[in-house]
Amino acid sequence: MTYMCYSDLMRYLSTRNRNETTGFAQAALGGLAPDGGLFIPEEIPLYPKAVRSSLGDMGFCDVAFETIRLYTAGEIPDGTLEEIVHSAYTFNAPLVPAGDRLVLELFHGPTAAFKDFGARFMARCFSYLRRGEDRPLRILVATSGDTGGAVADGFYGIEGIEVTVLYPRGRVSPLQEKQIAGLGENISAFAVDGSFDDCQRLVKAALGDAELRRKCDLSSANSINVSRLIPQAVYYAAAAGKAAKGKWDEDGEATPRQKAAAPPHIDSSALTLSVPSGNFGNLTAGLYAWKMGAPVTRFIAATNINKTVPDYLESGNYQARLSRATLSNAMDVGAPSNFERMAAHFSWAEMKEILLGVHVSDEETRETIRAVHESSGYFLDPHSAVGWRAADKLRAEGRLSGGALAVLSTAHPAKFAETVEPLCGPVPFPPSLKNAMNREAHFRNIPADEKIFIETVGSL
């Protein structure tokens, strides 16, 4: 892998065609490459030395600016990017102690899920890149849970942009459905008779349909979109910088804790990050941050029983499968789109050097939620519990040694109260979720049929 100089213009290419490149704006607004591949940076940039050594001392917005500017060089002026970053990130990603490890809390945004970091930047970025356009842009997004709510909130009320969210009917929580389908105005929702993989297939088919693209300006807000992926590298860099200096944060407003935490001792010699993983956009962003110079030693690719990538890491044989429903529904992905990006950047041998793959059952997930709350008073949602338990399993096998351990908490446990409360009792609800619960969901049922969906989008 090669690296860019700080002042170079970033170019993007398709995972399926390395002979043609484009700029950030075209990659972001296009969503999917013309050949059906995913856009990736031609080269992963390296943080300048001064930035790399200061990550643990910088504010979150400063880390965001220094990270994202490397990928938007020459297309978004620094002053504009600073405005976008400060508008998007009115919340933080605290790194707090819980039990014998750290938790990187990614649920302090308006929809209480990590998707807020990518979606809010993307919405403001698109508004700037589309300035002066007469024809509206329609964004198509498939969700297995949290993405849809974050994208709906991020783009709600953005002039000149219409959003259509697809989600598997009956496979998202009631709260997630209200976040997805409860806003109205420029946000429309489709409940698909099928799985998340079906939703994703419909979106890809529509984005790749030449006739539909002649009728409409289309893009995507899934993690297949590079403008949603890149901002997710920010919280990895910010957290790794803190851990490398032995730092941690006080609890934030939404931190779900009942007992005071003891001040931690952080072994700054190494950092392992356990990442709950479904479509693998989040972990791909972490790999970007690592390649940029963030001080991360290894990642745990923690999945539920949809263990396509852990199996690949073990065997070297990638085999996509149909997804199976679990408690951690946002991770119910059998054919993760972002694996195509991972494979474009890294060989199997290279992935095995930095990634440890583990899968966790629903019963293990329940046990972990209960045990962590009993021991430390900390509430985990099902997805974060998968990340926690995966690290426990590796420790029991002697495969983790030394250094700090941090688990990414990707959603607030109140979003999954129907699972968490029978195990732990009442979960504290942050104000943003209380507001969402008062909404009424409005959606259209649709079969998992590509032709019908394309025709429907063309008539909107």
pLDDT at 146 over 70: yes
* Nearest alpha-carbon partner for 43 in 10, 19, 67: 10
Place 6 in a pLDDT band, splitting at 50, 70 and 90.
Answer: very low
Active site residues per annotation = 115
189 DSSP 8-state letter: E
Per-residue exposure over 129-143, b if at least 16 CB sit within 10 Å of its own CB, e if not: bbeeeeeebbbbbbb
Average pLDDT, rounded, for the chain: 93
317 DSSP 8-state letter: -
Give domain status of residue 439, yes or no: no
Read off the CATH number of the domain in which 378 is found: 3.40.50.1100
Percent of the chain with pLDDT over 70: 98
Give domain status of residue 20, yes or no: no
Give domain status of residue 262, yes or no: yes
Place 147 in a pLDDT band, splitting at 50, 70 and 90.
Answer: confident
Give domain status of residue 98, yes or no: yes
Give domain status of residue 17, yes or no: no
Number of helices (H) and strands (E) in the chain: give both, helices first: 20, 14
Q: What is the mean pLDDT of residues 295-307?
A: 98
Place 1 in a pLDDT band, splitting at 50, 70 and 90.
Answer: very low
Based on its alpha-carbon atoms, the radius of gyration of the chain, rounded to whole angstroms, reads: 20
* Angle at the Cα of 430 from the Cα atoms of 428 and 436, rounded to 5 degrees: 120
Environment class of 282 (CB within 10 Å of its CB; exposed 0-12, middle 13-18, buried 19+): buried
Do 406 and 103 meet the contact criterion of CB atoms below 8 Å apart? yes
Give domain status of residue 74, yes or no: no
CA 220 and chain centroid, separation: 14
User: What's the pTM value of the predicted model, to 2 decimals?
Assistant: 0.89
pLDDT value, residue 342: 97
Least confident of 48-62, 68-82, 321-335, 386-400: 321-335
Give domain status of residue 354, yes or no: yes
pLDDT value, residue 4: 43
Helix axes 450-459, 196-207, angle to 10 degrees: 60
Cα–Cα distance for residue pair 339/318, rounded to 1 Å: 9
pLDDT at 11 over 80: yes
Give domain status of residue 341, yes or no: yes
pLDDT at 2 over 60: no
pLDDT value, residue 176: 86
pLDDT value, residue 7: 47
Environment class of 310 (CB within 10 Å of its CB; exposed 0-12, middle 13-18, buried 19+): buried
pLDDT digit string (tens) for 422-449? 999 999 999 888 888 889 999 999 999 9
Cα–Cα distance for residue pair 313/293, rounded to 1 Å: 23
Least confident of 193-197, 280-284, 361-365: 193-197
More confident residue, 289 or 36: 289
Do 291 and 233 meet the contact criterion of CB atoms below 8 Å apart? no
Percent of the chain with pLDDT over 90: 77
Place 196 in a pLDDT band, splitting at 50, 70 and 90.
Answer: confident
The boundaries of the domain holding residue 308 are 92-113+229-430
The total number of residues written for the chain in this structure: 460
Q: Could you give the number of structural domains in the chain?
A: 1
pLDDT value, residue 8: 67
pLDDT value, residue 219: 84
pLDDT digit string (tens) for 218-243? 988 877 889 999 999 999 999 999 99
Least confident of 5-9, 53-57, 247-251: 5-9
Cα torsion through 72, 76, 81, 84, rounded to 10: -100
pLDDT at 318 over 80: yes
